[in-house]
Amino acid sequence: MGQTEVLMKRIRKAVFPVAGLGTRFLPATKAIPKEMLTVVDRPVIQHVVDEARAAGIEHLIFVTGRNKSVIEDHFDHAYELERTLGERAKTKELEELRRDLPAAGQASFTRQQAPLGLGHAVWCAREIVGDEPFAVLLPDMLHHGREPCLKGMIDAFAAEPSNIIAVSEVPMSETHQYGILGVGAVGKGGLMPVTSMVEKPPQGTAPSNLMVSGRYILEPGVFSILETQPRGAGGEIQLTDAMVSLSNTRPFNAFRFDGRIYDTGTKIGFLSANVAYALERSDLGPMLRNELKAVVASSQTRK
């Protein structure tokens, strides 16, 4: 099958790298995967899966590690709990649990047996993805906007099939903290051709203020690059390095996400996400606003 034929395929599968240790949240993540920490009342990974399913993704591929079995349990039936909810006539709660479950055969789990980086985690999904373009969603990064980020990317892919990387604006003073893309003028489908990719450029050298925000659509050709790619920064197999290699022969475009991004892998990002997601809920927002005002006033009084 030619590369053009591969790109013309529909995006059906999404990879979720969930093998990270979550050391920034110890001791909370000593026994609980960081992806299962809750933003309001839903685990972080559930929010990201919600985004993928809203975009039409049919097959969820989780790349896990040791002590991550609870993620697999979360996306499976909990028969005792469901029976108890049914017996107690908690119909709403039971329906919500069942609605969140992938259908039989729509979720796969594979193990990243060594912490060799994001590129290696994506490579571990190669046999399940097969020979078709696919999405990658980093579970730490919650994309909060009117339209799910991945849906916008898939719509753009339909208009202009290519490798696509989601980006978001950050202050120029912060570009050294992120992967940054250089881009050309906006073209078909609202996409911008990628002219350069730089991982954490030194201050003052970034080609733009567009950070890579943790959402990708990639051709399966990236797997053969990752298979032989030497380790890069941090002694890990970097996905960015593989994308740079692939971009030498294949088209790459940037998709600008206009919503807010919360990095739940950081404590401030995690706390901010909880506040933002709670404030937009009619059952929590009004009361939380009042509580936040009281907390702020109390903290100022104690100073």
Q: What is the CATH number of the domain that holds 251?
A: 3.90.550.10
- Tokens 């032989």, residue located: 228
Give how far Cα 43 sits from Cα of 49, 70, 107, 112, Å.
10, 11, 17, 21
> Is 102 inside a domain boundary?
yes
Radius of gyration for the alpha carbons in the chain, expressed in angstroms and rounded = 20
pLDDT tens per residue across span 237-268: 889 889 989 988 999 999 999 899 999 999 99
3 state DSSP class of 103: coil
Give the pLDDT band of residue 7 (cuts 50, 70, 90).
Answer: low
8-12, 43-47, 63-67, 181-185, range with greatest mean pLDDT: 43-47
Distance (Å, rounded) from C-alpha 153 to C-alpha 159?
A: 10
Q: What is the pLDDT of residue 303?
A: 64
What is the overall mean pLDDT for the chain? Answer: 91
Q: Closest Cα to residue 271, out of 36, 37, 51? A: 37
Residue 167 lies in a domain: yes
User: Quick check: 30 pLDDT over 60?
Assistant: yes
Residue 287 counted as domain residue: no
Q: What total of structural domains would you count in the chain?
A: 1
In a domain, 233, yes or no: yes
d(CA 224, CA 242): 9
In this prediction, residue 188 has a pLDDT band, given cuts at 50, 70 and 90, of: confident
Lowest mean per-residue pLDDT among 1-15, 200-214, 233-247: 1-15
**Does residue 301 fall inside a structural domain?**
no
245 SS3 class: helix
- Domain of residue 145, residue span: 3-265
Residue 20 has a pLDDT of: 85
Please check the confidence at residue 34 and state whether its pLDDT lies above 80: yes
Whether 4 shows a pLDDT value over 70: the answer reads no
* Assigned domain for 176 exists: yes
pLDDT tier at 5, thresholds 50, 70, 90: low
pLDDT the model gives residue 186 = 84
Task: Output DSSP code: residue 243.
Answer: H
> What percentage of the chain reaches a pLDDT higher than 90?
67
Place of tokens 């719509």: 155
Instruction: Give the best-scoring range by mean pLDDT among 1-15, 215-229, 288-302.
Output: 215-229
**pLDDT at residue number 113:** 86
Rounded to whole angstroms, the Cα distance separating 167 from 215 reads 8
Domain assignment of residue 296, yes or no? no
Q: Is a pLDDT exceeding 70 seen at residue 3?
A: no
181 φ, ψ (degrees, to nearest 5): -110, 140
SS3 166: strand
9-18, 50-59, 117-126, 191-200: least confidently modelled range: 191-200
Predicted confidence (pLDDT) per residue in 76-93, tens digit: 999 999 999 999 999 999
Measure the CA–CA gap between 125 and 109, rounded to whole angstroms. Answer: 9
Question: Domain for residue 255, yes or no?
Answer: yes
pTM of the model: 0.91
C-alpha 63/C-alpha 14 separation (Å) is 11
Check pLDDT > 60 for residue 166: yes
pLDDT of residue 201: 87
